[in-house]
Amino acid sequence: MRSKVLKSCLALVIALAASMGTVEFAHAQAAKGPSGLPLPRFVTLKSKRVNLRIGPGTDYAVSWMYLKSGLPVEIIQEYDNWRRIRDADGTEGWVNQSLLSGQRAAIAAPWMKAKGKGVFVNLRREALPSASIVAKLEPGVMVTIGECNGDWCRAETDGASGWVAQSEIWGAYPGEAFK
């Protein structure tokens, strides 16, 4: 009897913990920053030279300098005119909001870079897994994205355009839809 009660209590605790995690995730996706925009959210770097600082202000040291405009980053926090961002490698720091753009871009499966040669992300003619392949993207290739439907994103890179599975890019959240 005691064993059954303990197992029931354990199952209840696990179920509650799982549901709280789901609520926290949904709440995190619905959170808004002081700007009124959702946090977290994806944006791109507007300038060719962007200083990543250790704190929100020009008095803070520069920890990194980005040298490519259009690079996708994720805003994870806001303070005044400063945005704490995270890049595809997980590097975090602060940049002035004037150096960010609402344009969307993504990086093809950066987590697959270390898997070696012969690993590709398929850019397809239509938003279907059976659609013909327009291009094979190496992991780490940057693409601009114009829209996502929750499963697929319309992407363009070096003259090739098509649809890429949303699960194979860094720059759009799973299930996120926008035009």
Q: What's the pLDDT at 98?
A: 98
Q: Note the pLDDT of residue 117.
A: 84
Pairwise CA distance, residues 150 & 171, whole Å: 12
- Percentage above 90 pLDDT, the chain: 78
The last residue of a domain, from among 70, 103, 136:
103
pLDDT digits (tens, 9 = 90+) for 48-62: 999 999 999 999 999
Cis? peptide before 40, omega within 30° of 0? yes
Asked if residue 35 belongs to a domain, the reply is no
Read off the CATH number of the domain in which 99 is found: 2.30.30.40
Q: What angle do CA 124, 119, 45 make, to 5 degrees?
A: 70
- Model confidence at 30, pLDDT cuts 50, 70, 90, reads low
Q: Are residues 80 and 128 in the same domain?
A: no
**What is the total count of domains within the chain?**
2
Q: Give, rounded to a whole angstrom, the gap between the first and last alpha carbons of the chain.
A: 57
| Residue-range definition of the domain harbouring residue 49 | 41-103
